[in-house]
Amino acid sequence: MTKNLLTIAAAALLCAACSTQKEDEKVIIQKQTVQLESDLMTPEALWAMSRISGYQASPDGKHIVFQMGYYSVKENKSHQVLWMMNADGSDQKQLTTVAENETDAQWLDNETIAFLRGGEIWKMNLEGTDRKQLSETEGKVEGFLFSPDRKKVIMLKSIDFNEIIQKNPEDLPKATGRVITDLMYRHWDHYVESIQHPFVAEVNAQFSILNSQLTDILDGYPYECPMEPFGGIEQLAWSPDSKFIAFTCRCLTGIDYSISTDSDIFLYDAESGDMNKTKNLCKNCGEFDVVPDGGYVDSPDNTCNPTKTLKNQYINQHDDVKDYNVGYDFNPKFSPDGRYVAWLSMKRDGYEADRQRLCIYDLKENTKTYITESFDSSVDDFCWAPDSYTLYYIGVWHATENMYQTNLKGEVKQLTSDWADFGSLQMLNEKQILAERHSMTAPADLYVVTPVSPLPTSPEEEETGGLDTPPLGGDGGGLQITQITEVNKEILDQLAKPSIEQRWVKTTDGLDLLYWVIQPPHFDPNKKYPTLLFCEGGPQSAVSQFWSYRWNFMIMASQGYVVIAPNRRGVPGFGQEWLEEISGDWTGQCMNDYLSAIDDAAENLPYVDKDHMGAVGASFGGFSVYYLAGHHDKRFKCFIAHDGAFNLEAMYTETEENWFSNWEYDDAYWNKDQTERARRTYENSPHRFVDKWDTPILCIHGEKDYRINATQGMSAFNAARMRGIEAELLIFPDENHWVLKPQNGILWQRTYFAWLDKWLK
């Protein structure tokens, strides 16, 4: 360990209260109370923070149950616990008192909470007592959702799926090899040897689950629900009368699955349990029933089932199937009156970053409309208002994730305009919204948003005043935002915060580019600071007011760096045209945008030390670093690339979700008649410019990263060393595209800053 690292470790934090205790020989990880030795953020302080995740208001809106994660570097794991508080944030108390994780809290009534523990569903009262196990599944429940009448429950369970990965012979029980017959044999960070299915069970008056009456609503079908790799119970919803279930499903397997994003919202008749009555709400050209081959029946002349590779072109050319949506459709939610189902919808097949529109299906009229068309960005989460006419949603615009309101007529109004990001939202009561919010200087907390001058909430009210659609960025008529949790107050109160500014610059093609400038705590404008160009991933991910436990701007600034974070071509929040310019042009205008931002900062911000600048990034940001390493014209003194694509020809077939490379690269590398965009993409792959590399580089990768395989990072490191360039490789055998384990997280931060300090200070 170097002297610098010893200093960092010694100055990190002193535990004022131990984070663990023994109970029945099990370690219980608790909230950390820490006393810092300085007011600057350190990796250890970052990992001492508590993390809010799920939350839900009681039916009467008087209480909120929420989930917290506590992390122990010593134990190298986390503990998920449940907390309770009044709706105004008062009387907060921890309900979890055991070493096991307790998660996924859901209200059964105003006095009773259901939750997951050890793969089973439990219940308890408001005090956390009177606990009772409700399910008996041998620990197989992975998610659940009770019906509104509490007479049924959906349970997510994994079933064996060996259609693609064959079972080994019984006489070879220790064989570890896998015989694979098709694509999608692994996803994100695991081999696909099982898939989730939703099961419906009856519930008695005491909320106990009757496993003898268990129905798999996808029985016999090799399709997953919810969808890999990140889908959960939010991809299913009960109707208010408890008679129907709306669920998300992609009826594809193997290579068809790997090249398509075409998922749909289905309506299952939970009252009859008859799978033959299941309807597809996304493809409105007849009555649809799921069939085993992934197609659909009862569509006239098969007009609703064009060849998968021609779907997008076919839909554009045929008016009779204009409602045949072929992109991602997911996360359904019924209106309170049960007439409508809303969900997030992408239009085009194979484009995982297409604009997410808010779709409304009228179950009475069998019609479908899109109500956020005037919002030229994606809807990231939404909730229904009690009137079944108004909806609230969050979306990114000009580098912040704010809250908006719309209605069934598609009239959009912006409600908040803070330099902050809302991460999720739900109704607290008839007039207030409960939401999670965070920023570059504050991790997630819960807030109550109260519109002061609400918009018309019914067609009748519109007749008396109407609803204007102001330009984006306008104020929605006034509201109150009240913070009701401060889960990291003890740590944040000890920390000095960086200063944050927005700056606009002209791009090389004459457009306006916004970039964030994050300045160190105790900023002195008369000093020179080493400066980092932050390269965003995605490639279509927002450079907004996000809080990260790895790519954290506050800790970068606290270590004495100015951070320049451009909203380059390809990020959402600046219109769909701006976002889509990156597809098929990874090394074109978006790279010029990076350089426009860092050059503007170097030339016009006197505190930027242009002789000590570095470029850092992950995923597409890592790709950007690898490319800039061969094209930076001596601007940078060091680079850091995490999980970045290095060789795009190899990446094309290595990644597991092949629709991504099909869309982004435009064509396969082996096609001799490939498109101009594809030819340009492969000719400008970073590995082709290693001969121009001349700058120290740190490569980081996880070996369980199946999105961008670890061979990409290893190849980049090997190439640098073979060229005689100073380089380091930080490899994690047990991490995926992210870094999730506490000790690995600390090692990541220490290695990251040691490398920057070595070359920039």
Read off φ and ψ for residue 388, nearest 5 degrees: 60, 20
Read off φ and ψ for residue 548, nearest 5 degrees: -125, 150
Of 359, 151, 161, 145, the closest CA to residue 235 belongs to 145
Q: Pseudo-torsion of CA 387, 390, 392, 396, nearest 10°? A: 170
**Is the Cβ–Cβ distance between 319 and 306 less than 8 Å?**
no
Read off φ and ψ for residue 624, nearest 5 degrees: -60, -40
- b/e burial code for range 427-452 (CB count within 10 A of at least 16 → b): bbbeebbbbbbbbbbbbbbbbbbebe
Of 117, 106, 125, 229, the closest CA to residue 660 belongs to 229
Give the position of tokens 């989730």.
196
Separation of alpha carbons 662 and 386, rounded Å: 42
Token pair listed for 725: 């360039």
- Residue 170 vs residues 173, 176, 180, 635: alpha-carbon distances, Å: 6, 12, 17, 60
Straight-line distance from the first to the last Cα atom of the chain, in angstroms, rounded to the nearest whole number: 18
Of 616, 447, 460, the closest CA to residue 532 belongs to 616
Query: What residue type is 145 in one-letter code?
Result: L
**Is the Cβ–Cβ distance between 67 and 82 less than 8 Å?**
yes
Separation of alpha carbons 695 and 759, rounded Å: 10
Of 41, 160, 3, 117, the closest CA to residue 553 belongs to 41
Catalytic residues: 619, 705, 737
Q: How many CB atoms lie within 10 A of CB 509?
A: 12
Read off φ and ψ for residue 186, nearest 5 degrees: -145, 155
Q: What residues contact residue 276 under an 8 Å CB cut-off, 6+ apart? A: 289
Residue 510: exposure state from Cβ atoms within 10 A (0-12, 13-18, ≥19)? exposed
Bridge-based pairing state of the strands 236-238 and 244-249:
antiparallel
Task: Indicate the helix (H) or strand (E) that contains 492.
Answer: helix 489-492
Q: What is the widest separation between alpha-carbon atoms in the chain?
A: 78
CB-side exposure of 700: number of CA atoms within 13 Å?
27
Is residue 530 reached through a cis peptide bond, with omega within 30 degrees of 0 on the bond before it?
no
Q: What residues contact residue 740 under an 8 Å CB cut-off, 6+ apart? A: none
Separation of alpha carbons 668 and 687, rounded Å: 17
Q: HEC states along 672-724?
A: CCCCHHHHHHHHCCHHHHHHHCCCCEEEEEECCCCCCCHHHHHHHHHHHHHCC
Separation of alpha carbons 436 and 53, rounded Å: 9
Task: Indicate the DSSP class of residue 324.
Answer: B
Give the position of tokens 């310019």.
581
Read off φ and ψ for residue 754, nearest 5 degrees: -60, -40
Paired residues of 514 in beta bridges: 504
**Is the Cβ–Cβ distance between 714 and 730 less than 8 Å?**
no
**Is the Cβ–Cβ distance between 424 and 56 less than 8 Å?**
no
Separation of alpha carbons 744 and 742, rounded Å: 5
Cα 526 to the chain's mean position, in Å? 39
Token pair listed for 455: 């918009």
Residue 389: exposure state from Cβ atoms within 10 A (0-12, 13-18, ≥19)? buried
